[in-house]
Structure 1
Amino acid sequence: MAWRGRAGARRAANGSVMEGAARAGLTARGVIYLLVGVLALRIAFGDGGRQADRGGALAELAGRPFGALLLWALGAGLAGMALWRLSEAVFGAVGKDGRSARKRLMALARSVFYAFVAWSVPAFAVGRDTGGGSSDRQSRDVTARALEAPAGQWLVGAAGLVIVGVGCWIGVQAARRTYHKKLKLGELSPRARRLLDVSGVGGGVARGLVFAAAGVFAVRAAIAYEPDRAKGMDDTLRSLAGTPLGPWLLVCVAAGLVLFGVFSFALARWRRV
């Protein structure tokens, strides 16, 4: 019986560690989206001096008092996100289908992505501009290498269509408020629930639109066989100002990204882990 008690204590401790890692990761993600949204708002109103992407967000933090400390804290939070997603891939996530192969594969993909992002933050802090560099340059470079591969146009075009599909899926899921399934709804006051729904729907739709637009640019780059037509987050956001709606579309999307940052903070507080 003693070994059962010790095993239960270890499971509880591991659960507490993973919960802390998840909430730290969601908070770190919120910081990045909040900063990207603010930078995009600046671009919409004529201040385009800093890029509205992860690199711009890191540079914004680095320029603040105790900037290096903030960057290391952000990297630690993102590492927590990677560990949490890895635990979901290995042990399953919350929800009735949390142990399905599809959910596990999605969790593994997210873990790899956040591990790369987490590694890029301290690299940026110590002066190695790897993951914190321009998303536009990275997108063009990756597209150029992919186009040179056998059947490169088809690969880039297919990847672009997948990104478009992911963007549409993100937007639709947000509009349907499917995130309610993962929340501690009983702990939410009416005001907190309204805030969460406004930020969840508005932020998710804006995020999905950015993904879908980036996918469209990738498809165009494949069709034209021109890697320069591929766009990262910064160029994608700036392109919204060139639509018939002018900068106001960019304002709406940028505000939505700010809302998604707020939504991530809310998830860090009320998500079931």
Structure 2
Amino acid sequence: MANGAIVYRSDYHSVNEHTNVLETKSCYKIKCIWSGRIYGNQYNFTWKFNWNKLKKQGVDEITGHIYVSNSYTVLKIDVELTENNQVITKEFGSSHSDGDVYYTYSLTPHYTPVSEKPSDDEMFAPSDQNDAILIVDGKKLHVNKTFLSYHSEFFRALFSSNYKEGQMDEIPIGEVSYEDFALLLSTFYPNPVFVTDATVEKILELARRFLVSSVIKVTEHHLLNMSKIDNQKMLWLADEYGMPALLEKSIRGLDTLAKAKQMKKSQKYDQLSDKTKLKVFDRLMDFI
């Protein structure tokens, strides 16, 4: 590992029309399964990267290059990993598609920036500005009714005199952990914490449950402008949580026949709404 990059070189392997997995090796917390086969004069290679250990250490992206070589050709492949078990696929032709092949990679982990975040105890401490107490996971959160009601239809109803909870001194909030609830509120409370790729899915799930539309809009902005999440998952998130601008961008991201086909064959496609499936199918037809 030099200058932050993780470097690896495989052994030589023979590739033919019958081969599949060529090698499974780990190098500094990155496990790679390399598969390859020949169709006619066409090489077809895949690399599946498991980097969950690095992800748990705060890595949110890995970038770099793969170089695959035989006696006649060296091919450079750009790598951008944002999901664990992500697969890189490459096909290329060669007039000499026989003999031994090897690959090397140079991959650099990128760590999630650590943002300044006030402690949850400070954020939900008693103050003259707070006039309600929520009980989450057995812990007390002192909050402002007007502020929460402005941002959330859920809390607007909860604090209403039409509900018994609105008359309670301490209101229990069930089926959510203290950490997750604090994460949601921290995205729009004073001194908000920015959404990251690591928190985006949990935040969207909670924003939908507690009807905080502004948080969904903030999250969509992150996904549109700063996220490194792959296009397939981005499309699913846009469809699942109702983010129209992100959905249109993700559909446009299917800018080749191969990408459109890959999306249609993916597990995420089966989870899409019928309306979005039709958009993907229309995009596929654009290339036929």
Q: TM-score, normalised by structure 2?
A: 0.21
Q: More relative contact order in 1 or in 2 (CA 8 Å, sep 6+)?
A: 1
Larger proportion of strand? 2
Q: Who wins on radius of gyration, i.e. which is larger?
A: 2
Larger proportion of helix? 1
Q: TM-score, normalised by structure 1?
A: 0.22
